Amino acid sequence: MKLNKNDLRYIKTEDNLKQALLTLLDQMSLKKITVKMICEVARCSRNTFYLHHEVKEDLYNTVVSNVLNSMQNAFQPRVDQVDQITDDILDEYTEGIMTSVASHKDSLRTLILQDNGLFFKQFTEIIQNTVLKGSSELANHFTVDTQLYSSYLAGAISGFIFNWFKNPICDLPTATKALKIIHRETMAICIKELKKEGHC
């Protein structure tokens, strides 16, 4: 049976399935969750589930993809020239990232706390790929390969966000302020080195 994915009933059921999975992930790992459990929380039949997804892993991947795709724009570089990078631009960049984190806070917390390493990899890759696409002009000014630059940036930001969720020693505004300081000071050194001839 072919379903119309634009049908409001389909959309509502899909949303219920995704929320049901996140609710269950708050309590246990994906490995322990069954399709029956998802259906009970979502209040739908198994047949309905299988009209949407073949297996629970497909539903999980859909949840992850939705979160990452929704956050992707936040990682887009704000300038295309090294000389345009200022403290205000760097602060705007980190503010945008943490605003996006706040918008997906509940989903991110659940996915991060239940992560076995795969979500961290996916999260880091979406940042790296977005930075790479947006750094084509900047690349003309760098002596370091942009692959290395984007890898550093993605790993640093992912590490900060994941650690904050796993060890929430401060609130979101304080975490945002900390990331601004770290990113600004680190990028000041990075930009200086990137401009040096023969650095890499």
Pick from 147, 144, 117: nearest CA to 133: 147
pLDDT per position as a tens digit, 52-97: 999 999 999 999 999 999 999 898 877 776 677 788 888 999 999 9
129/76 Cα distance (integer angstroms): 9
Q: At 125, which amino acid appears?
A: E
Which pLDDT belongs to residue 150? 78
157/9 Cα distance (integer angstroms): 38
Which pLDDT belongs to residue 198? 44
Please list, in sequence order, all residues whose beta carbon lies within 8 angstroms of the beta carbon of residue 160, skipping any fewer than 6 positions away: 179, 182
Q: Which range (107-116, 126-135, 187-196) has the least confidence?
A: 187-196
Please list, in sequence order, all residues whose beta carbon lies within 8 angstroms of the beta carbon of residue 75, skipping any fewer than 6 positions away: 97, 126, 127, 130, 131, 157
Tokens for 161? 């966000």
Rg (CA), the chain: 20
Pick from 81, 69, 78: nearest CA to 96: 78
Q: Whole-prediction pTM value? A: 0.84
